[in-house]
Structure 1
Amino acid sequence: MKFVPRSETTRQRIVELTAELFNKKGALGTSVSDLEKATGMTRGSIYGNFPNKEAVAVAAFDYNWERKRKILFDGSDVQVSFKDRLLAHVLLHHPSARTSFTPGGCPLQNTVIESDDTNDLLRSKAATSLLIWTQKLVDIIEDGINAKEFKANTDGLTIALQIISMIEGASLFFRSTQDMKYVNRLLDAAKKIIDNICV
Structure 2
Amino acid sequence: MKTASTSRSEQTRRFIIETAAPIFNKKGYAGTSMSDLTTATGLTKGSIYGNFKDKNDVAIHAFRHNIELIFDFFSKELKTADTAMQKLLAYPRGFRKIHPMVLAYGGCPIVNTAVEADDTHPTLRKMSMDVLNRWKSGMVSLIEQGIVEGVIKSTVDAANTAEILIALMEGGILLSKVTGEESYFLNTIDTAEKMIMDLRRQQ
TM-score normalised by the chain length of structure 2: 0.90
For residue 151 of structure 1, give the secondary structure of its aligned residue in structure 2. coil
**Between 169-178 and 99-108, the greater mean CA deviation after superposition:** 99-108
* Whole-angstrom CA distance in 2 between matches of 1:74 and 1:99: 17
* Whole-angstrom CA distance in 1 between matches of 2:101 and 2:151: 27
The CA deviation at 1:73 is 2.3
Amino acid at match of 2:141: D
Give 2:131's match in structure 1, choosing from 129, 132, 135: 129
* Whole-angstrom CA distance in 2 between matches of 1:58 and 1:102: 21
- Percent identity, aligned pairs only? 37
| Structure 1 contact 23–102 (Cα < 8 Å) conserved | no
Q: Which residue of 2 aligns with 1:3?
A: none
Aligned length: 195
Structure with more helix by fraction: 2
* Whole-angstrom CA distance in 2 between matches of 1:176 and 1:98: 14
For residue 197 of structure 1, give the secondary structure of its aligned residue in structure 2. coil
Q: Which residue of 1 aligns with 2:157?
A: 155
Q: Deviations over 1:119-144 (max 9, x none)?
A: 10000001001100111111111111
Q: Which residue of 1 aligns with 2:3?
A: none
For residue 7 of structure 1, give the secondary structure of its aligned residue in structure 2. helix
Q: Which residue of 2 aligns with 1:188?
A: 190
TM-score normalised by the chain length of structure 1: 0.92
* Whole-angstrom CA distance in 1 between matches of 2:13 and 2:67: 17
* Whole-angstrom CA distance in 2 between matches of 1:14 and 1:119: 21
* Whole-angstrom CA distance in 2 between matches of 1:72 and 1:147: 22
Q: Deviations over 1:56-115 (max 9, x none)?
A: 000000000111011112211320122121111112112676567981111110101111
| Structure 2 contact 173–184 (Cα < 8 Å) conserved | no
The CA deviation at 1:13 is 1.1
| Structure 2 contact 92–189 (Cα < 8 Å) conserved | yes
Q: Which residue of 2 aligns with 1:48?
A: 50
Amino acid at match of 1:30: T
Calculate the aligned-residue CA RMSD, in Å. 1.9
For residue 95 of structure 2, give the secondary structure of its aligned residue in structure 1. coil
Q: Which residue of 2 aligns with 1:113?
A: 115
Give 1:197's match in structure 2, choosing from 181, 191, 199: 199
The CA deviation at 1:154 is 1.2
Alignment of 1:4-19 (within 5 A): 7-19=9-21
**Between 98-107 and 55-64, the greater mean CA deviation after superposition:** 98-107
Alignment of 1:65-80 (within 5 A): 65-80=67-82
Q: Which residue of 2 aligns with 1:179?
A: 181
Q: Which residue of 2 aligns with 1:83?
A: 85
Runs of 4+ in 1 over 4 A off after TM superposition: 95-102
* Whole-angstrom CA distance in 2 between matches of 1:141 and 1:53: 40
Q: Which residue of 2 aligns with 1:60?
A: 62
